Amino acid sequence: MTQAVDSADSVDPRALEALNRYFGYDSFRPGQSGIVSAILAGRDVLGVMPTGAGKSICYQIPAAILPGVAIVISPLISLMRDQVDALNDVGLPAAFINTTQTPDEQDLVFAQALSGQIKLLYVAPERLETERFRNFAVRVPISLVAVDEAHCVSQWGQDFRSSYLGIGEFIAGLPTRPTVAAFTATATERVRRDIVSILGLHTPSITVTGFDRPNLYFDVISMPRKDKASWVASYIASHPDESGIVYCATRKETEALAESLNSAVAELRAAGGADVSDIGTIAVAYHGGMSADAREKAQRDFVTDRVPVVVATNAFGMGIDKSNVRFVIHHNMPESIEAYYQEAGRAGRDGEPSRCTLLWNESDIVTRRRLLDSDYENERLTPEEQEAVRASKRRLLDAMVGYCRTTDCLHAYMTRYFGETAGAAAKTDGKCVGGCANCEHTFETIDVTDIARAISRCVHDVNQHVGSGKIVKVLRGSKAQDLSYLNPESLLSFGMLDEVPEARIRDVLSQMATDGFLTIAEGRLPIVGFG
Ligand code: ADP
C-alpha cells in the first residue's frame, strides 16, 4: 500500500478542465487530484477524508471523463435524489435505481445507461444482489465502481451493514473488472484493512487527507461537573455576537443547560453593564426526543441567527449547513475522536477563526467505559464478535482519552490519529497554525527519552504482566496498597519518575504504544508488553 502524494505538476489537465466545467472550481483540494489521477490511470484507491472535505468530486470527475457508466454505491437512499439532481443540473447525466421506483421506471434507467446516456448510476448495496441488476451490470460497460461510506463493510467500526459484504462478490462477477474506489471518514487501521480485503481492492493507492483544520483553535479543559454550566455561561456571555453549538451527552442535559444558560447569560451581561432589556432567547435545546415541529423550529432559529446558541445531543448537525459557527463546546467527552472531530468540525466552515473546546473530567471516562461494557447488544453477532466490537470501541475511547490528557499539540494529535502525513498540522515558531491550548501553554520540558527509557525499564521489571495504571504508579513511587504484591520498592524503576506528572507519563506510554515500541492488551486489563 502506498500513500499518494499530491504534486501540482501531476494534475491531469482533463481533470482540471472537468473540475472547472462542471463544478466551477479552479483547483483541487489536497488529496483530490492524486485520487482522480490514480483512478484515471486505472488504479484502485482508498480515500480517507473527513465529511465535507470533498470526496464526491474524487469519483465524479473520473466518471465524467472515462467511457462507460460509474456505479456509485451509497447507503443513503434518502440522499440519492438530491445528489442526482445536483449532477444533472451541472450537466453530468446521472440517475439512481432504488425501491421508490416502479419496475418500468427502473427499466427506463437501465435502457438509458445501456445506450450511454448516463455517466453516474447511484444504487444502494442491497440492489447489487438482485437478479435484474446483475443482468444489467454484465451488459453495460462500467468505468468505475465507487463505494461511499466504505467503512460499513467492517464489523469493527460503528456502522456495519451486512449488505456491504456483497459488494466484493458483485465486482468479482463482472465480465471485466472495473477500477474500484472506496471512500470513508473512518480512521482506524483495522477498518481500513477490512475495506481493502473485503472489497477486494487491488494494491490500492491510499490517500488520507483534509483532517487538519487550520482555522480552528483546539482547547481541552478538565473541570468538575458542577463547574461546567457556569463556564459555558461565562464563555457565551463574553462572546455576545457569536453563534455556537454546545454538545451534551443526554437529552435531559440539553434542556436543563439551555434553560440555565438563558438566565445565567442575561445576568452576566447585565452585571457587565450591558443593556439586556431586549436580549431575547440565548439558547435553544435540540435532541431526537423532541417533536419534529419543535426540532425544526430550533434548527431554523439557529440557522437564521435568531438564536445564537443551540444546546444539542449528537442528533444535531447532520445535513445542517451553517458556515459561521464560531464555537463548538463539548460539555462531556465523546466516545471517539471520529465523533469529536465530526462535531467540533462544524465550527468555522467559512474558514474564519473559530474555537473548539472540550470540557471533561475523570467521571466522563468512567461513564463511557460503563456504557460500553453494559450497553452493547446486537443479536446479529455472536458473543465473540460482540466482545471484539467492544474491544474496538474501547480502543476508540482510549484514543479520545489520550486526546484529553495529551500535553502535545492538539492539531498534531488529531492529524496523527487520522494517519495523515503530508502537510499536516504545520507549525511556526513551535506553535501550531490555528493554535491550541497545549502549544500556547508551556509545559515543563522533560526529556521524553528519559521518560520512555524509564517506562521500558518498568515494563521489564514487572515482567510484562502489569497494566498501564500500575506502571505509572510504580514509576511515580506510589505507596498504593494494590501494588504491594509486586513488592515495588525492590524494583529498580520504582519512583524513577516521581517528579513527572502522571498525565505526562501516560502520554509518553501511549505514544510508545502508537509507535509500536509497546503493546497494550485489549480487554479490561491493559497489560503492557514490548512491541
Ligand atoms: P464529502 O463527500 O467528503 O462529505 P462533498 O463531496 O460533499 O464532501 O464536498 C463538500 C463541499 O466541498 C461541496 O460543497 C463541494 O462542492 C465542495 N468542494 C469539493 N471539492 C472542492 C474544490 N476542489 N474546491 C472547492 N470546493 C470544493
pLDDT in tens, 376-420: 566 667 788 778 778 888 888 999 999 999 988 999 999 888 887
Same-domain pairing of 326 and 259: yes
CATH number at residue 375: 3.40.50.300
Domain of residue 346 covers: 216-440
Same-domain pairing of 509 and 378: no
Q: Ligand 1 atom 20: the closest Cα is on which residue?
A: 54
- Residue 177 near ligand 1, beta carbon < 6 Å: no
CA of 92 to the centre of ligand 1 (A): 16
What confidence score (pLDDT) does residue 9 get? Answer: 45
Same-domain pairing of 382 and 326: yes
Q: Ligand 1 atom 9: the closest Cα is on which residue?
A: 54
- Residue 56 near ligand 1, beta carbon < 6 Å: yes
Cα 423 to Cα 412: distance, rounded to the nearest angstrom: 11
Q: Which of 114, 368, 405, 377 is nearest to 249 (CA)?
A: 368
Cα 205 to Cα 36: distance, rounded to the nearest angstrom: 11
- Residue 25 near ligand 1, beta carbon < 6 Å: yes
What confidence score (pLDDT) does residue 1 get? Answer: 38
What confidence score (pLDDT) does residue 6 get? Answer: 43
Classify strands 243-247 and 309-312 as parallel, antiparallel or unpaired: parallel
Residues in the chain: 531
Q: Which of 254, 260, 317 is nearest to 285 (CA)?
A: 254
CA of 382 to the centre of ligand 1 (A): 39
Low-confidence ranges of the chain (pLDDT < 50): 1-9, 422, 444
- For cell 417533536, the residue is 291
- Residue 53 near ligand 1, beta carbon < 6 Å: yes
- Residue 349 near ligand 1, beta carbon < 6 Å: no
Same-domain pairing of 352 and 494: no
Neighbours of 375 (CB within 10 A): 9
Same-domain pairing of 374 and 456: no
Sheet with 179-184: strands ordered across: 2-3, 205-208, 45-48, 179-184, 142-147, 69-73, 120-123, 94-97
Same-domain pairing of 241 and 376: yes
Cα 482 to Cα 185: distance, rounded to the nearest angstrom: 42
Total domain count for the chain? 3
* pTM tops 0.85: no
Same-domain pairing of 242 and 201: no
Q: How far is CA 444 from CA 56, 295, 436, in A?
A: 45, 47, 17
Same-domain pairing of 483 and 356: no
CA of 321 to the centre of ligand 1 (A): 13
SS3 at position 385: helix
User: Can you say whether the dihedral through the CA atoms of 338, 341, 345, 347 is positive or negative?
Assistant: positive
What confidence score (pLDDT) does residue 3 get? Answer: 43
The DSSP code sequence of 98-141 is: -TTS-HHHHHHHHHHHHTT--SEEEE-GGGGGSHHHHHHHTTSP
What confidence score (pLDDT) does residue 494 get? Answer: 94
Same-domain pairing of 201 and 245: no
CA of 149 to the centre of ligand 1 (A): 15
pLDDT in tens, 210-222: 888 889 999 999 9
Give percent above pLDDT 70 in the chain.
92
CA of 53 to the centre of ligand 1 (A): 6
- For cell 418500468, the residue is 104
Amino acid identity, position 94: A
